């Protein structure tokens, strides 16, 4: 039996705001969408790997999601780490830096953390 990663899911309150964030901050693009009366699923891809980020918008939900202590995250590598850092700094979405390890985290509109790593690490 063989298993492989397919996707991760984040529930979002404002689908359009989240789509804009993931496009602008990480260059993720929509690769598939599933519409239902009570929810919308949008799968985002990076154009390089098969892994997808599924954004779930539960229509009618107005209260923020409780993320606990937010001890989980997705990680992304980037070739030009310094340029990415400047972009995220200008977007005011950097939520944590560990300069000793050479990494930082950004936070999406719903508070999910995304780790940014240099590709050559």
Say what the pLDDT of residue 93 is. Answer: 98
CA distance 115 to 1: 31
Cα of 95 vs its chain's centroid, Å:
13
Say what the pLDDT of residue 2 is. Answer: 85
Domain 7-60+72-118 falls in which CATH fold? 2,3-Dihydroxybiphenyl 1,2-Dioxygenase; domain 1 (3.10.180)
Say what the pLDDT of residue 10 is. Answer: 97
Say what the pLDDT of residue 71 is. Answer: 78
Strand ranges, E, within the chain: 7-12, 29-35, 39-45, 52-58, 73-78, 94-98, 103-107, 113-118
What letters, b where the CB count within 10 A reaches 16 and e where it falls short, cover 4-13? eeeeeebbbe
Q: Break the chain down into helix, strand, coil percent, rounded to 5.
A: 20, 40, 40
CA distance 11 to 60: 13
Say what the pLDDT of residue 3 is. Answer: 76
For the chain, give the percent of residues with pLDDT over 70: 98
- The domain ranges of the chain are 7-60+72-118
């Amino acid at each position: 039996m063989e298993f492989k990663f397919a996707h991760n899911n984040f529930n979002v309150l404002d689908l359009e705001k989240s789509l804009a964030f993931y496009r602008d901050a990480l260059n993720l693009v929509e690769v598939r969408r599933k519409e239902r009366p009570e929810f919308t699923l949008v799968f985002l891809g990076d154009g390089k790997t098969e892994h997808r980020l599924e954004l779930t918008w539960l229509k009618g939900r107005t209260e923020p999601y409780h993320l606990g202590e937010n001890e989980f995250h997705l990680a992304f590598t980037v070739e030009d780490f310094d340029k990415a850092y400047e972009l995220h700094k200008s977007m005011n979405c950097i939520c944590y830096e560990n300069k000793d390890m050479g990494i930082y985290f950004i936070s999406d509109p719903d508070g999910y953390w995304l780790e940014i790593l240099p590709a050559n690490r």
